A and B are shown apart, each in its own frame.
Chain A
Amino acid sequence: MNTPNTMLSPELSPESLKKIDREVAKYPADQKQSAVMAALVIAQDEKGWLPKETIAAVATYLGMAPMAAYEVASFYNMYDLHPVGKYKITVCTNLPCALSGGVHAADYVKQKLGIDFNETTPDGMVTLKEGECMGACGDAPVMLVNNKRMCSFMLPEQIDKLLAECK
């Protein structure tokens, strides 16, 4: 954790660092820490998940304590602190979604893939997660793929199509 900046920053690719710089520029010069949420997402996108060393590298790059970055990474639900499959499917099962089949959609995916929530298929392709409100209740059932792609009206036919894409 005390390794100097230059030793740790190569952990992230130059492309990722460039993206992080763009985030840092949004905030006052003495408030680089504000970019940590976006920076951790950029790091997660590059690595697939967030090993402690990567979190520390992000912290060092932003001039903050590694523990402060770890606090952020462990507080917000969509950071993956453990490896996940190539595709992470998060199903909203909250009440408004459940009224329109959110829980049943999750059951359907579990049955198709033979895994439960927080499990990954044996081939390492798909991880299934239970999600909280995604703010898209009118499109229920909804699923998020790899945190960023929102899939709406996920009835059996649409789920079959999505799972066929996860190769």
Chain B
Amino acid sequence: MALIDTINPLLTTGWAKGDAGWSLKDYEARGGYKQLRRVLESKMSQDDLIAEVKKSVLRGRGGAGFPTGLKWSFMPKAAPVKYVVCNTDEGEPGTFKDRDLMRFDPHSVIEGMIIAGYAVGAKAGYNYIHGEIFETYERFEEALDQARAAGYLGDNILGSGFSFDLFAHHGWGAYICGEETGLLESIEGKKGQPRFKPPFPANFGLYGKPTTINNTETFAAIPFILGMGGEAYLNLGKPNNGGTKLFSVSGHVNRPGNFEVPMGTPFSKLLEMAGGMRGGRKLKAVIPGGSSAPVLPGDVIMDCTMDYDSIAKAGSMLGSGAVIVMDETVCMVKALERLSYFYYEESCGQCTPCREGSGWLYRVVHRIEHGEGRPEDLDLLNRVTDNMMGKTICALADAAAFPVRSFIKHFQSEFEYHIENKKCLVDPEVQRMGSGFFKAGAA
């Protein structure tokens, strides 16, 4: 199981027993489904419920950071058919928090979704689960069966008159389905190509019906917010950045894994929780919010706190909370080459600037990495990103552009060295040993 360390554990309270603590009886033993019961038995009004979530300043944990309560309030009241959808299509490189949430505490997601269904007046929901974590999808189906058998899902839940059912839908290998309207297309049994917005999903969502889409971690936070009250949850974090957040720390640290900390925790504390730098090596760069977030040099991130506002001020994004740590053994050109290949591979092909631009970015970074770069290539890369950003239906083009622009901005001399000398600034043997795959001295 994943290594876990927390400050103020909420979302991770159920993770202590790892794979042995996910079932319904374990969840109920730690107070699970109590908030759903309270909402239904007290006949809490939808407005009061949404107001409580607004008070918590819970912001969407999938990457965009949009206030959850506000999103729920956009749902039209009168519509007869509405849906709640959970986005567990966790494919943003560096992000692996929702997988652990779903493995170790699937019922917290289910309870959060039922409460959301009550708040927005939906009778059905779908959880879209990343195809690559099929074992987690199967466990979630089992958890749904348990919840159904216990009367938490289905008709007339707990005798309240409120009915809601929930189903799992799996992806099968397409990053773009993490984009919410691509995800809706995918549930409808189509290619996951994003829709033009507006109309937004709150008006025209799944099957054309009003739909609320939130991230897995967002739903899982709902029972805790109702349990402690919106204000207490907000105060766990800092103003405008409520609550605790899961951070997935990967790369060159001693203990990669998920860590739950209050919003506003210093980056240095998070790095310490992850066991510090592997081999005691020097921190070179960090991508603080998943591969689409601009990279930050080590000395910049060391002065940041982990919350939406601090990371934005430093010129990046908190995104999904995926912290990719790179030490001095990394060639930044090679690192960018791999990320650029990813966006080229995953562009859905719908918009020309993204389909063609992502290919150009990859090919030019590839030629620099392979000693065929030209002096004008850095300008060319920046010009291509200019022609991509803000010019497409969804944000994948921007996601492909941010790494390119930020890698060049912060590590320009390394790119220039590569172009001039036709080789990496970092010795290939140093790079090779940096991954930890080979034992020292072995071939």
Give me the interface of A with B, judged by CB distance under 8 Å.
Answer: 26-28, 31, 33-38, 40-41, 62, 64, 68, 71-72, 75-79, 93-96, 98-105, 108, 131-141, 144, 147-150, 155-156
Contact = CB atoms under 8 A, between A and B. Distances in A.
22 contacts: A26-B167, A26-B169, A33-B190, A68-B190, A77-B173, A77-B174, A78-B131, A93-B338, A94-B93, A94-B342, A95-B335, A96-B94, A96-B291, A98-B435, A99-B435, A132-B173, A133-B94, A137-B93, A138-B249, A138-B256, A138-B258, A139-B96
A103 B98 CA distance: 25
Interface residues on B, range: 35 or more
B132 A135 contact: yes
A164 to B, nearest CB: 19
Contacts of A147: 131-132, 134, 172
A137 B94 contact: yes
Interface in B277-329: 291, 322, 324-326
A135 B256 contact: no
Report which residue of A78, A99, A101 has the largest number of chain B beta carbons within 10 angstroms of its beta carbon: A99
A132 B94 contact: no
A135 B130 contact: yes
B187 A34 contact: yes
Contacts of A102: 435
Interface of B: 2-3, 90-96, 98-99, 126, 130-135, 167-175, 186-192, 207, 248-252, 256-258, 291, 322, 324-326, 330, 335, 338-339, 342, 345-346, 348, 432, 434-438
Given A134-B132, A134-B133, A75 B191 contact: yes
Please name the 5 residue pairs, one residue from A and one from B, whose CB atoms are nearest each other, closest first.
A101-B437, A77-B173, A33-B189, A78-B173, A104-B437
A7 B145 CA distance: 35
B189 A79 contact: no
Nearest to A35: B189
Nearest to B249: A138
B85 to A, nearest CB: 12
A35 B94 CA distance: 29
Given A41-B172, A100-B436, A137-B95, A132 B346 contact: yes
A76 B3 CA distance: 31
B289 to A, nearest CB: 13
Contact of A135 (B3, B99, B324, B438): B99
A78 B338 contact: no
A135 B98 contact: yes
B173 A76 contact: yes
A95 B291 contact: yes
B96 A78 contact: no
B322 A137 contact: yes
Contact of A148 (B134, B173, B437): B134
Given A37-B172, A105-B437, A100 B95 contact: no
B131 A96 contact: no
Contacts of A108: 437
Contact of A133 (B93, B186, B434): B93
A35 B126 CA distance: 13
Contacts of A78: 131-132, 172-173
